[in-house]
Structure 1
Amino acid sequence: MQISFAADIPADRYDAIRQASHFQRWIARSSASFELRRVHVRDAVMFGTRIGFIFLEADALHEGNPVPKYALLRGDAVSVLVVLRRPGEPDRTLLTCEPRLPVGRSDILSLPAGMLDGGTFSSTALRELAEEIGADLPVKADDLIELTRVWTTPGGCDEEIGLYYTELDISADLLAKLQDRATGNADEHEHIVVRVIELDALPSIGMTDAKTLLSYTLYKQRVSEGQTAATR
């Protein structure tokens, strides 16, 4: 199999692209499922010092027939549905309100989430909760429970996202501090506002992303089956 690079990609970046974990994984998976004859890297975006998004074109066959040839490799991600509990009150959850240039909207509400960047699903989940919600949210790795893992857009992108939830008893003081809190990683140009809403209001927040609605649906299914931490 031949790997080539677009003329405007610096030659000193070739090895980093070949060695990027999401590129190597894609090569391994695709080679096992297809006759992968040629891969042409059309672009690679740097995230600081590491390789981020990779856009490629592949010459690949399945059972002797060509398959669609373009793929965006961005690696894996994780999200967390945080269920906030207070005695005698409805369960609440935390959403982030953040500008999303790819969909042309500045007011998207969704679950806190982020890319793995070489970490594990659980370590990334804790990092993203600290960055997007706040370091005072008392969640530990052992508190995170996996709902499922899904591919978001397998027709064009390799991203696999791990959906997690955690149930947290919270004080009235911390609950008040979380509402409308401004957060985000300044180095990554994130401008986030935290929203606290009733959990069962989540399906009515308007246009959102798949991970948010799917996490809610799977969590409520577990509740109905008596399988969550709070019901065990």
Structure 2
Amino acid sequence: MDSSKEPPTMYLDDFQPKVPVTLVEGLKWKELLAFPAFQTWKSTLKTSLSNQKFSDHALHDTPYKLRSIKIQSFDKFDPKSETLNFVKMDALVSNDEKPPKRLPGIVFLRGGSVAVLMIVRPTDSPEERWVIMTEQPRVPAGSLSFMEIPAGMMDGERNIRGKAVQEIEEEVGMKLQDRDLIDMTKLAVQGHEVLDDVKMAMYPSPGGCDEWISILLWEKEIDRQQIETLKGKLTGNRKQHEMITLRLLNYERLLEVGGRDAKTLAAWSLYEYLKRTGQLP
């Protein structure tokens, strides 16, 4: 027997009782523990489970526990790296009823993302509003020309504005100042207290994926000629196989195209709400 081979089952000792985790072939235990999305998920779930102790919690009388985790698959952008990018797993969360009730627990872990609604106004006609969009292949959607607002995965990065600046430079070719970015999701939800440690961000598919997206706003008046140079511009990080074409959409018709993209739809909704309530300059 090869003693260096990872055992098929390990245990999370930050839960009581310890939670068995069944690994999948090729996945190292240290890789999973270092995966930021997994760290955030288990920390958030642990807090949520502990909140059942409060008498006014909906599940107080029949509390649930994390019983086990089975890793089903994983992916890396770089196969030679020890850095995970995606993990799919089955988390068994059930109560002590006879028979026990189980919560749906198929989870696709990918971590956080940041997206930016970029609105430009020509200096000679500031009442005009144009939205900078990216058009690129999105194979999961079956499209080679999917249009959306600029966005990117956090990849463990904690500086949301810094990551947004980086993504905009790569995808749009513009160098922004992080002080000019407004976190619209945080601004909108910060007044609503929740027991769980969920992010002050938008969760596009919480029934199956952990992904949360911080949606930021960048709105500026710039020279019309500069706006024209953005139309049809080819951008993207070629090392990451990005093939991006920039498109400019009239803000008033944004949802005719952007309504297919959850980030764009959420960004529009946040922008309109925060403008209406006077929370945006």
**TM-score, structure 2 normalization:** 0.75
1:130 to 148, 169, 172: 169
TM-fit CA distance, 1:47: 2.5
TM-fit CA distance, 1:24: 1.3
Structure 1 residue aligned with 2:156: 118
Which shifted more, 21-30 or 124-133?
21-30
Distance 2:130 2:259 in 1: 19
- AA of the residue aligned to 1:9: G
TM-fit CA distance, 1:226: 3.5
Distance 1:38 1:56 in 2: 10
Partner-residue secondary structure (3-state), 2:279:
coil
- Whichever structure has more strand as a proportion of its residues is 1
1:181 aligns with 2:230: no
Distance 1:9 1:35 in 2: 28
1:36 aligns with 2:87: no
TM-fit CA distance, 1:228: 2.1
Structure 1 residue aligned with 2:102: 66
Runs of 4+ residues deviating >6 angstroms: none
Q: Percent identity?
A: 29
TM-fit CA distance, 1:67: 1.1
Whether contact under 8 Å (2:161, 2:181) holds in the other structure is yes
Whether contact under 8 Å (1:9, 1:43) holds in the other structure is no
Query: Tell me, which stretches of 5 or more residues in structure 2 are unaligned?
Result: 1-18, 50-63, 186-200
Q: Quick check: which has more Rg, 1 or 2?
A: 2
CA offsets 1:132-162 (integer angstroms, 9 cap, x no match): 100xx24211011011111110110000100
1:23 to 23, 35, 38: 38
Distance 1:80 1:54 in 2: 26
Computed over aligned residues only, the root mean square deviation of the Cα atoms, in angstroms, reads 1.7
**Counterparts in 2 of 1:227 and 1:15: CA distance versus 1, 3 Å:** same
Whether contact under 8 Å (1:100, 1:108) holds in the other structure is yes
1:53 aligns with 2:86: yes
Distance 1:14 1:47 in 2: 18
Structure 2 residue aligned with 1:166: 218
Partner-residue secondary structure (3-state), 1:150:
coil
Structure 1 residue aligned with 2:20: 2
- AA of the residue aligned to 1:125: A
User: After the TM superposition, which residues 198-213 of structure 1 pair with which residues of structure 2 at under 5 Å, given as runs?
Assistant: 198-205=250-257, 208-213=260-265
Distance 1:69 1:171 in 2: 51
**Counterparts in 2 of 1:62 and 1:29: CA distance versus 1, 3 Å:** farther
**Counterparts in 2 of 1:174 and 1:54: CA distance versus 1, 3 Å:** same
**Counterparts in 2 of 1:63 and 1:81: CA distance versus 1, 3 Å:** farther
Whether contact under 8 Å (1:108, 1:207) holds in the other structure is no
2:115 to 79, 94, 97: 79
Count of residue correspondences: 224
Distance 1:187 1:88 in 2: 38
Whether contact under 8 Å (1:79, 1:211) holds in the other structure is yes
- AA of the residue aligned to 1:29: T
Distance 2:71 2:92 in 1: 12
- AA of the residue aligned to 1:98: Q
**Counterparts in 2 of 1:226 and 1:138: CA distance versus 1, 3 Å:** farther
Partner-residue secondary structure (3-state), 1:127:
helix
TM-fit CA distance, 1:177: 1.3
- AA of the residue aligned to 2:163: T
Distance 1:171 1:138 in 2: 16
User: After the TM superposition, which residues 71-110 of structure 1 pair with which residues of structure 2 at under 5 Å, given as runs?
Assistant: 71-86=107-122, 87-89=124-126, 90-110=128-148
